[in-house]
């Protein structure tokens, strides 16, 4: 059986994040990727210059087209900029009894450009977070979801993760990549345990699409039948290696992309 994962997210015209990063990640990890596009962005490594939202009814049509034909093993959700889009995705996932949902609450691009309307945060918490197997906020997103200050310690990260857990997901992975410690530490928190995922922090400006890549790598693992903790560990390893190899690419003049196909291109 071919493992299949679906990404529901926005398109990045520069290819480093969003739908494009997700499909690259799925392919690199041996998973067939399908997509539902929620928004078109005009962006590059320097920033976002425009967003064109896909109508909610067409988002629903894409979801129905995919689920009525493909055997979807996992779903990654990324950019949903408006309330109607969130509602369309929540209703579509319920309609098709989607499983293994990985929700990356994309709020701000690496460049600092806002990708989620402020009024949509409440809809995200109400309609989608409770459906997720795992939610993967970075430090800034976790603070916004919990209406708290930016976490400075691992205790702060765990406390915010447990606030998000109270909304209904089974796991929360708070990503520490925006911190300033020697190690980049992510905390995977569930009702009964905390798993610490650490890697040496890599000094590079080429981190565009890191969050998208991590969440889609988790979805790829789930589509292949891995348990959540193993999928998260393997996703962390994959992203770390993709960041290490990022400087071998020369793409754009700002925050460049990860090297999603590092293991294949090195061989070539």
Residue 207 is among the residues annotated as catalytic for this protein? yes
DSSP-based helix, strand, coil % in the chain, nearest 5 = 40, 25, 35
Report the alpha-carbon distance of residue 139 to residue 174 in Å, rounded: 7
The neighbour count for residue 14, using CB atoms within 10 Å, is: 21
Q: Which of 209, 213, 236, 256 is catalytic?
A: 209
Q: Which of 212, 236, 240, 256 is catalytic?
A: 212
The pair of three-digit structure tokens given for residue 65, joined into one six-digit string: 């087209």
Q: Which of 207, 213, 236, 240 is catalytic?
A: 207
Give one word for 87, left, alpha or beta, with left for phi > 0 and alpha for psi -120 to 50.
alpha
Q: Which of 175, 179, 221, 236 is catalytic?
A: 175
Q: Which of 10, 211, 221, 256 is catalytic?
A: 211
Report the alpha-carbon distance of residue 96 to residue 151 in Å, rounded: 36
Sheet holding 74-77, edge to edge: 47-53, 32-44, 4-12, 74-77, 101-103, 134-135, 171-174, 183-190, 194-200
Residue 125 is among the residues annotated as catalytic for this protein? no
The pair of three-digit structure tokens given for residue 141, joined into one six-digit string: 């997103």
Q: Which of 210, 213, 240, 256 is catalytic?
A: 210
Provide the annotated active-site residues.
175, 207, 209-212
């Amino acid at each position: 059986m071919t493992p299949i994962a679906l990404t529901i997210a926005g398109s990045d015209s520069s290819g480093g994040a969003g739908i494009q990063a997700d499909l690259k990640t799925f392919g690199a990890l041996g998973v067939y990727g399908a997509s539902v596009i929620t928004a078109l962005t005009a962006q590059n490594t320097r920033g976002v210059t425009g967003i064109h939202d896909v109508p909610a009814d067409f988002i629903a049509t894409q979801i129905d087209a995919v689920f009525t034909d493909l055997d979807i093993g996992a779903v990654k959700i990324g950019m949903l900029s408006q309330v109607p889009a969130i509602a369309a995705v929540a209703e579509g996932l319920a309609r098709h009894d989607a499983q293994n949902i990985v929700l990356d609450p994309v709020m701000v691009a690496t460049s600092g450009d806002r990708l989620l309307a402020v009024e949509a945060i409440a809809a995200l918490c109400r309609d989608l977070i409770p459906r997720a197997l795992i939610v993967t906020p970075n430090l800034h997103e976790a603070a916004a979801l919990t209406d708290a200050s930016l976490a400075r310690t691992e205790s702060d990260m765990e406390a915010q993760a447990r606030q998000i857990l109270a909304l209904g997901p089974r796991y929360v992975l708070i990503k520490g990549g925006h911190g300033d410690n020697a190690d980049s530490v992510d905390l995977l928190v569930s009702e009964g345990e905390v798993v610490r995922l650490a890697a040496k922090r890599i000094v590079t400006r080429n981190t565009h699409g890191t969050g998208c890549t991590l969440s889609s790598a988790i979805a790829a693992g789930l589509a292949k039948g891995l348990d959540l903790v193993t999928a998260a560990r393997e996703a962390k390893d994959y992203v770390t290696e993709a960041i290490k190899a990022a400087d071998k690419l020369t793409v754009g003049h700002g925050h460049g992309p990860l090297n999603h196909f590092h293991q294949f291109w090195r061989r070539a």
